[in-house]
Structure 1
């Protein structure tokens, strides 16, 4: 497999896909998401065979890779649900006049404008955290810096964005809720 042998990949795929799919499906309870993650696992094997460790428990390795991908998918879905929940909560509390004044495109444009105005490194860290849903540890490793530095950069970014949105008024209540 590590040498790019297609037959070896086919044998591995045929041997493990059903078992792996079953584990992924049990964790997600969604057929399409389970298929997507299964495809990610096997495409990762095919595209990056050099990352496959020397192990006597290959099934355990595949299960671990799949579990990490499932956890990442759940985390990304959580952020999306938090965002939609904050938007829905604001919509139920806001007056009709306010809702007519503000639409979602304006809100997203204001957020994006504030993110774009951040210093380059701070913006990069913020976007990796909030848009790519990477952990502080993952960002630190990617950028060659410590987890604590990443944490401080994100905190500073949120502080700057909140302040600027508060100063601009109008949609600040919703925007601040979205930037928890």
Structure 2
């Protein structure tokens, strides 16, 4: 009797589609190091690469039953890894941009104003603005920024187009920035009125 170690990728994929844990374990054993080193090469950070590889296989397990029957396993893993790498890089860029904006604000407004703005308060304000977004827009935004799903993954999950996802995220960012710009101006005005 054959063991899963002797299965081809296609046979493993077919077994995975029926929820076979042994097939998943064999895919994991076959591809984890390859995917880890691919992520490490792209990200340059061991912890990020490990996290990304783990997340990749978690996604494979949860979505494995929905993969098309003619899927190329290694191709699917590389494409999914690439999308997750791009999302992580974008997420880090957003963080860097956010920190740069705060730094620029600090230089313009002076230390007194910045000391008054507590990071936790700022995060609460941002979260409040996210909750004030229209329901569908908020859902798309949270899937993108909190669960780090790609536009395509969000579109599939919500049954909408990639373009709609992109537009909704863009609108959400503009709305939140607008509210934060107003808040920043008010904070500066209040600071100088003291």
Q: Taking structure 1 as the reference length, what is the TM-score of the superposition?
A: 0.71
Indicate the residue corresponding to 2:37 in structure 1. Answer: 22
**Is 1:13 aligned to 2:28, yes or no?**
yes
Aligned in 2, Cα 1:83/1:166: closer, same or farther, shift over 3 Å?
A: same
Distance apart, 1:135 and its partner CA: 6.0
**1:54 partner SS:** coil
The whole-number CA distance in structure 2 between the counterparts of 1:107 and 1:15 is 45
Structure 2: gaps of 5 or more residues: 1-14, 190-194
**2:34 partner SS:** helix
Indicate the residue corresponding to 2:100 in structure 1. Answer: 85
RMSD, aligned α-carbons: 3.5
Distance apart, 1:8 and its partner CA: 2.2
The whole-number CA distance in structure 2 between the counterparts of 1:121 and 1:55 is 33
State the aligned residue count: 173
The whole-number CA distance in structure 1 between the counterparts of 2:177 and 2:158 is 22
Deviations 1:100-136 (A, max 9, x none): 3333333333334444444434444454455555566
The whole-number CA distance in structure 1 between the counterparts of 2:36 and 2:112 is 50
The answer as to whether partners of 1:114 and 1:161 remain within 8 angstroms in 2 is no
The answer as to whether partners of 2:130 and 2:138 remain within 8 angstroms in 1 is yes
Distance apart, 1:172 and its partner CA: 7.0
Deviations 1:132-160 (A, max 9, x none): 55566655554445535862684377358
Aligned in 2, Cα 1:97/1:33: closer, same or farther, shift over 3 Å?
A: closer
The answer as to whether partners of 2:52 and 2:81 remain within 8 angstroms in 1 is yes
Distance apart, 1:74 and its partner CA: 1.3
Distance apart, 1:86 and its partner CA: 1.0
Stretch of structure 1 that moved more, 84-93 or 97-106: 97-106
The whole-number CA distance in structure 2 between the counterparts of 1:153 and 1:32 is 28
Aligned in 2, Cα 1:124/1:56: closer, same or farther, shift over 3 Å?
A: closer
Aligned in 2, Cα 1:16/1:167: closer, same or farther, shift over 3 Å?
A: closer
